[in-house]
């Protein structure tokens, strides 16, 4: 396979694109777009985002040491892009984009209700790197639309119509799996190598969020060791 050589450049793509909500000590809330985000630890649960220090939300994060990661669906792509190119120093992007906010349970920062998944974060540490600072955060809690959770308690993020960012463009996350963890070494290699298409499902509730509690979810799951954090909000 012929290759073209490039000088040092981070071309790791695609990556998830998320909306980050922040709040300063005066109570002002802002939202901005981040494409450099990732999972970094399981126990304790942690994630990271990379942010330019000149961003307004960077100031807000340093003030309160809290933020919320909101995972948008494809129907919000234009708003996601807008929140990435416009500055909160000049306008109220939350108002302009007509986002509705809901108070979080564990942090002072609200989450965007229109996003199907929201993750509460408390800053663990900030590492200056150059153009960006790497913000490491503990995941305190999360919320998922009930429409994405089946009768067995399994989360179907593939049904959330999430978007990714790839070299300057936005793409939908596909719904059909091409494999699953461990299928390459499964005993029945014929069946394991051809994963079946996941059946879609619908629920009457499409906007209500479910809060996660690991112990309660483990009781309902057939595989408690892999359970995520579920608890319905009252």
In this predicted structure, what is the pLDDT of residue 228?
44
Structure tokens at 158: 């593939």
In this predicted structure, what is the pLDDT of residue 222?
46
Please report whether residue 7 resides in a domain.
no
Please report whether residue 9 resides in a domain.
no
pLDDT in tens, 96-133: 999 999 999 999 999 999 999 999 999 999 999 999 99
Residue numbers of the domain that contains 206: 15-231
Please report whether residue 74 resides in a domain.
yes
Residues 124, 35: Cα–Cα separation, whole Å: 20
Residues 140, 225: Cα–Cα separation, whole Å: 19
Which CATH number belongs to the domain containing residue 184 in this structure?
2.30.110.10
In this predicted structure, what is the pLDDT of residue 71?
98
In this predicted structure, what is the pLDDT of residue 192?
52
Name the more confident of 134 and 188: 134
Report the domain count for the chain.
1
Residues 15, 48: Cα–Cα separation, whole Å: 13
Percent of the chain with pLDDT over 90: 76
Look at residues 63, 58, 138, 135 and name the one whose alpha carbon lies nearest to residue 106. Answer: 138
Q: What is the pTM of this model?
A: 0.83
Statement: residue 195 has pLDDT above 70: no
Residues 61, 73: Cα–Cα separation, whole Å: 24
In this predicted structure, what is the pLDDT of residue 212?
64
């Amino acid at each position: 396979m012929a290759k073209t050589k490039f000088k040092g450049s981070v071309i790791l793509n695609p990556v998830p694109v998320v909306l980050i909500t922040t709040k300063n000590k005066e109570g002002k809330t802002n939202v901005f777009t981040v494409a450099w985000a990732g999972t970094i630890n399981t126990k304790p649960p942690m994630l990271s985002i990379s942010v330019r220090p000149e961003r307004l939300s960077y100031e807000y994060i340093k003030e309160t040491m809290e933020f919320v990661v909101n995972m948008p669906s494809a129907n919000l792509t234009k708003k996601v892009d807008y929140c990435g190119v416009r500055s909160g120093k000049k306008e109220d992007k939350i108002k302009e984009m007509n986002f509705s906010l809901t108070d979080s349970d564990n942090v002072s920062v609200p989450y965007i209700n229109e996003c199907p998944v929201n993750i509460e974060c408390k800053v663990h540490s900030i590492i200056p790197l150059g153009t960006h600072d790497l913000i490491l955060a503990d995941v305190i809690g999360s919320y998922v639309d009930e429409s994405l959770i089946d009768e067995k308690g399994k989360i179907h993020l593939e049904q959330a119509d999430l978007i990714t960012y790839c070299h300057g463009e936005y793409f939908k996350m596909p719904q059909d799996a091409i494999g699953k963890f461990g299928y390459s070494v499964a005993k029945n290699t014929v069946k394991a190598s051809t994963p079946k298409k996941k059946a879609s499902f619908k629920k009457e509730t499409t906007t209500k969020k479910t809060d996660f509690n690991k112990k309660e979810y483990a009781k309902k799951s057939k595989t408690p060791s892999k359970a995520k954090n579920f608890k319905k909000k009252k």
